[in-house]
Structure 1
Amino acid sequence: MYPDSEILFPPRCIKTLRDLRGPQWRELIDRLLTLPNNHEAVLAFGLLVIDESSCLTCSLDSYRASLGCCTCAQRSISGYKGTDEELLADYQENLAKVRKYASNPNMALATEIMLQATMAPPRRR
């Protein structure tokens, strides 16, 4: 429906959040931009933005969706009421969650199988 809307926060929008907070935030964004999208740090950042932007309650026919994911995330991060330190602490908590999830051998295998399935070329019928 809207060209810039996805189901969850897309990593392509990370760069648009760089100048919204202080120097520590900018350093984090700069580091994330050097990493692949499936890196644990990028995943943890995505989880942070998903939480802050309430992506799970966004509907494709909503006002938020009409803004697009990048704009919605910018509004959420710039409007965050806490300090940069609190926001970065939330990021660190999410990084710990991602690492815990990835360290579970059953979850890691399931995730790898899922990623292989999504990266495989489509089957012809």
Structure 2
Amino acid sequence: MYNSDTEVMFPPRVISQLRNLRGVDWQQLVDRVCSAEADLIERAAFTLLMVRMGGCQSCTIDSYRGMRGCTMCARQTIRRFRGPDHELVKQFEHCKSEVQQFINKT
């Protein structure tokens, strides 16, 4: 069974749908990444964060996650995160520095 919401890795189109799943710090992060002022590095960092948290690299179209689709998987991933929102923001900042380092090397 094919789900049109299933992609190879976390799709940025889903970011805004994750906004109201957590507290103020998380909502501000999502707002920042979705804003017109957000640069490619921030969007790539958020994607990297979600790929790592959601395990996108091991997902296949016929897996449970793949059949549910990226939106449902991402929502569940954020809901199930047991740490505080500031930890998610910290992980995002770490991903952002990794993306920046990668860009600087190329």
After TM superposition, is the score higher than 0.5? yes
How many Å separate the matches in 1 of 2:39 and 2:84?
27
Q: Judging changes above 3 Å, is the alpha-carbon distance between structure 1 residues 101 and 14 closer, same or farther for their aligned structure 2 residues?
A: same
Secondary structure at the counterpart of residue 9 of structure 1? coil
Deviations 1:32-66 (A, max 9, x none): 11248871001000000001100001011011011
How many Å separate the matches in 1 of 2:36 and 2:99?
15
Q: Judging changes above 3 Å, is the alpha-carbon distance between structure 1 residues 19 and 96 closer, same or farther for their aligned structure 2 residues?
A: same
Contact 1:35 1:42 in 2 (8 A): no
Match of 2:12 in 1: 11
Gaps of 5+ in 2: none
Match of 2:72 in 1: 71
RMSD over aligned Cα, in angstroms?
1.5
Deviations 1:8-38 (A, max 9, x none): 0000000110011111111111111124887
Runs of 4+ in 1 over 2 A off after TM superposition: 35-38
Matches within 5 A, 1:39-50: 39-50=40-51
| Pair member with larger Rg | 1
Q: Report the TM-score, using the length of structure 1 for normalisation.
A: 0.79
Q: Report the TM-score, using the length of structure 2 for normalisation.
A: 0.93
Higher alpha-carbon deviation: 24-33 or 47-56: 24-33
Residue correspondences, number: 105
Secondary structure at the counterpart of residue 82 of structure 2? coil
RCO higher in structure (CA 8 A, sep ≥6): 2
